[in-house]
Amino acid sequence: MRLHDFPYSPNCKKVRAVAYELDIPLDCVTVNLFDGARAPEFLAKNPNGRVPVLEDGDFVLWESTAIMRYLARGSALLPADPRRAADMDRWIAWQLAHLGPAMSKVARERIVKALRGHGEPDLARIAEGTAEFHAATAVLEASLADDGYLAGPLSLADFALAPHYDLAGACQLDLTPYPRVTSWLTRVCARPSMQRAIHYDTQARP
Amino acid sequence: MRLHDFPYSPNCKKVRAVAYELDIPLDCVTVNLFDGARAPEFLAKNPNGRVPVLEDGDFVLWESTAIMRYLARGSALLPADPRRAADMDRWIAWQLAHLGPAMSKVARERIVKALRGHGEPDLARIAEGTAEFHAATAVLEASLADDGYLAGPLSLADFALAPHYDLAGACQLDLTPYPRVTSWLTRVCARPSMQRAIHYDTQARP
């Protein structure tokens, strides 16, 4: 299977970490997020112009959440118990609908604009995204136990959230008010699969 | 099972339509989205202060996507074929990550602000959300066949997207450039389950 990805993208890290965790070999091809993802040959694979994109023979799949689920089918990362599975689904949806948009606002103003030379950050947008980030993260903090993972045993939910929270520092979003989130994040990021996904950009590429 | 919901919320309509489609009885309790969802007894159920929330005995579940999946477990609305399932997952994630945030920007400025007396709409936000809505909907248009559903047979994906597109007109978002989306939406909304979910607010409540 071939994965079109970009090393710094948290959505790509989700997919790579799951593949590494499950020992699924992936042929990774780096796409330049800013230019390459708008090239006609890439848009033919994903008309949204976004990474990651998985190719499995003639089947082309985009949206990192869908790719994670496809790779993890039949594995222990998808809980068999209906309520555990629902807990996993809850956090995956929550990341997509709430945490992701909040962090994207801040990342766009603080990181993407600087990288692209797109002018000064919009401070009102940063304040808005920061407030949403803290409101969301307070919910996660209150939901977490002192140890363990988001849906009981390790599941796709942990791999869906951790690559985003791992970028909180780079976005100047403070995690110190959230000791359980910090402890969970440290635990997930210590896994060899996450280490490999996070530090992928500093390794020799396949 | 008890569903805490709000008649006009597209996320609540998703859940009700799936329950109606699968003949799952729900005891629906209306929550005032603006005030009731911030009440302490509601926040104890969902600390995010959002509807819908499902209670199944002592199990409390929030996030409409997770609730839909929980209700549909084992049903024909979850495709057994891995690639069909991935197609479904792709559109569900796409709605949460792209279509939803775009439409929310416009709905907040054009509908919520007026309802709440929160001042004049921010025209720049409307323009931004409108552009994102059209970029997303052009992708859906190109992906749809002349008939059929998002992932081949009818699936949760159709129920995840249709209640949002059904509100395009109320948001002054024009669907006429998208004949396949319009045809698909008409087809999904013609189902008795969707009719019942969409017109729930004009019916006697359970």
Is residue A98 located within the same domain as residue A170?
Answer: yes
CA neighbor of B164 nearest in space, from B144, B145, B181: B181
Judged against a pLDDT cut of 90, whether residue A19 lies above it is answered with yes
Q: Are residues A39 and A61 in the same domain?
A: yes
Do A95 and A177 have their domain in common? yes
Provide the pLDDT for residue B202: 66
Looking at the fold, whether A90 and A149 belong to one and the same domain comes out as yes
Q: Are B26 and B2 in contact (CB under 8 A)?
A: yes
Q: Give the domain CATH number at B65.
A: 3.40.30.10
Domain identity same for A113 and A163: yes
One domain, residues A86 and A110: yes
The number of domains in chain B is 2
A192 to chain B, closest Cα gap in Å:
27
B60 and B120 co-located in one domain: no
Shortest CA distance from B58: residue in chain A: A83
Contacts of B86 in chain A (CB under 8 A): 59, 61, 66-67, 69-70
Burial of B81 (0-12, 13-18, 19+ CB in 10 A): exposed
pLDDT(B63) > 80? yes
Q: Is B85 close to A69, i.e. CB distance below 8 A?
A: yes
Query: Is the same domain home to A20 and A61?
Result: yes
The chain B residues in contact with chain A (CB within 8 A) are 47-48, 59, 61-67, 69-70, 73, 82-83, 85-87, 89-90, 92-94, 96-98, 100-101, 136, 138-139, 142-143
Query: Which H or E run includes A4?
Result: strand A2-5
Structure token digits, residue A61: 């799949």
H or E element in which residue A2 lies: strand A2-5
**Eight-state DSSP code of residue A38:** G
Among B198, B199, B178, B104, which Cα is nearest to B135's? B178
Domain CATH code at residue A90: 1.20.1050.10
Q: Are residues A140 and A160 in the same domain?
A: yes
**Candidate from A47-61, A117-131, B107-121, B134-148 with smallest mean pLDDT:** B107-121
* A59 neighbourhood in chain B, CB within 8 Å: 83, 86
Least confidently predicted of A33-42, A107-116, B20-29? A33-42
A27 and A89 in a single domain? The answer is no
List chain A residues with CB under 8 Å of B143: 47
Closest-CA residue to A10 (of A83, A95, A74, A90) = A95
**Same domain as A163, residue A90:** yes
Predicted model pTM: 0.95
Residue of A nearest to B56 (CA): A83
Range of the domain at B131: 82-191
Confidence of residue A33 (pLDDT cuts 50, 70, 90): confident
Which CB contacts under 8 angstroms, 24+ apart, belong to B146-149? Answer: B146/B180, B146/B183, B147/B183, B147/B187, B148/B184, B149/B184, B149/B187, B149/B188
Residue A188 and residue A123 in one domain: yes
Is-contact B11 B68, C-beta < 8 A? Answer: no
